Amino acid sequence: MSTVGIKELKNRLTQYIRRTKQGEEIVVTERGKPVAVLTPIGAASRVETLEAKLARLAARGVVTLPMGKPAKRVRRIEVSGRPVSETVVQDRR
């Protein structure tokens, strides 16, 4: 499944319709929020993908989908001395 903004969909509608004919589901977004799901007609009875379900929930306002790029892998840093949690507790006293 892929996601496409309305402007991009408008500019390349034929391409996205072709992909839908091949069985792909496409979530259409407006300013980053899902507003529609393009699905092939034959797929009406089959189980939805996770992305389509999440898009439907986001459109109803039940969940908020992440807007940015996924976080890069975080490098762990080793710290010597007392744990930070102890320092925070002492500073609160």
CATH code of the domain covering residue 37:
3.40.1620.10
- For residue 41, give its domain range: 2-60
Q: Which pLDDT score is estimated for 19?
A: 93
Residues 4 and 29 sit within 8 Å (Cβ to Cβ) = yes
Strands 33-38 and 2-5: unpaired
Lowest mean pLDDT among 6-10, 47-51, 74-78: 47-51
pLDDT in tens, 9-40: 999 999 999 999 898 889 899 988 888 888 88
| Helices (H), ranges, 1-93 | 6-11, 13-21, 50-60, 84-92
Residue 8, domain member (yes or no): yes
Confidence bin at 51 (pLDDT 50/70/90): confident
The domain tally of the chain equals: 1
Q: Which pLDDT score is estimated for 33?
A: 85
Residue 80, domain member (yes or no): no
**Residue (of 31, 12, 36) closest to 1 by Cα position:** 36
Q: Which pLDDT score is estimated for 47?
A: 60
Asked if the model's pLDDT at residue 45 lies above 60, the reply is no
